[in-house]
Amino acid sequence: MIEWWGPVFIDSYGATEVGTTCSINSADWLTHPGSVGRCVPPFSVLVFDDDDNELRPGQEGRLFFADATGRGVVYPNDPEKSAAAHIRPGVFTLGEIGYVDPDGFVYITDRFSDMVVSGGANIYPAEAEQILVQHPGVLDVACIGVPNREMGEELKALVMAKDPSNPPAPAELMAFCRERLSHFKCPRTADLVEDLGRTAMGKVNKRALRAPYLGHSD
């Protein structure tokens, strides 16, 4: 869009319940591609590991935002969800995984709810998705966690082929991913699908995609 229209865009990241937490203009995006920007008042960003230890710039973990007003995030008529989103009063998460670079720019890499725990290892599906979508035969892809009797869960790729009459073989997709990503982060299986059900905003309902596989471990 910047190439098409010029450096006239401003991107905002946040949620209906809190408004904009981060913002980035086109000039900053060009020097920090993929970022959702720096925090805007009254918010500041914090990143924590799974044991609630604060992480340094460049380290990936759970993204939290400190609200200087002390309000935090409030989900209407859902006090339990509001409480669960806070690590302490006024410090809340919108459910994302990410990191902050040394310049203070925030990057989002995945969502908590999409994380797959396989054999005790935490796997973030977005990493494999970003690799597989580069395959010349792939139009779109979503990776989900499905039951596995030995590992608890395993990562599965749901793939839309660019040419449905000549789709890439699952083994080819697995090899493509393993050449570019640690093996434990790659899907163990792949299914070809006609549609991922993306919304007009480009979002995928992974809970709906997982539903047909639940209760079937092999």
Compute how many other C-beta atoms are within 10 angstroms of the C-beta atom of residue 122: 11
pLDDT at 112: 82
Q: How far apart are CA 61 and CA 55, in angstroms?
A: 7
Let me know whether 98 and 154 are in one domain.
no
Whole-number pLDDT of residue 153: 93
- Tokens coding 50: 């799974």
Shared domain check, 65 and 127: no
Low-confidence ranges of the chain (pLDDT < 50): 217-218
Specify whether 8 is located in the same domain as 103.
Answer: yes
Number of folded domains that form the chain: 2
pLDDT at 215: 65
Query: From its phi and psi, is residue 137 left (phi > 0), alpha (psi between -120 and 50) or beta?
Result: alpha
pLDDT of residue 218: 47
Q: Which of 109, 131, 149 is the last residue before a domain boundary? A: 109
Quick one: 87 and 184 in the same domain? no
pLDDT in tens, 151-160: 999 999 999 9
Q: What is the pLDDT of residue 186?
A: 96
What CATH number is associated with residue 166?
3.30.300.30
In a domain, 44, yes or no: yes
Query: Quick count: other Cβ atoms within 10 Å of Cβ 84?
Result: 11
Q: Do both 105 and 140 map to the same domain?
A: no
What domain range is 127 assigned to? Answer: 115-213
Same domain membership, residue 161 and residue 95:
no
Q: What is the CATH number of the domain that holds 39?
A: 2.30.38.10
Query: What is the four-CA torsion angle of 192, 195, 198, 199, rounded to 10 degrees?
Result: -170
Same domain, 94 and 35: yes
Is residue 218 a part of any domain in this protein? no
Of the three residues 109, 131, 159, the one that is the final residue of a domain is 109
Kindly state whether residues 127 and 81 are assigned to the same domain. Answer: no
Q: Are 120 and 107 in contact (CB under 8 A)?
A: no
Residues 15, 104 within the same domain: yes
| Amino acid at residue number 112 | F
pLDDT given at position 184: 93
> What value, to the nearest 5°, has the Cα angle with vertex 119 and ends 56 and 115?
50
Looking at the structure, tell me whether residues 134 and 209 fall in a common domain: yes
Cβ atoms of 40 and 20 within 8 Å: the answer is yes
Residue 114 has a pLDDT of 84
- Residue pair 105/32 in contact (Cβ under 8 Å)? The answer is yes
- pLDDT value for 217: 46
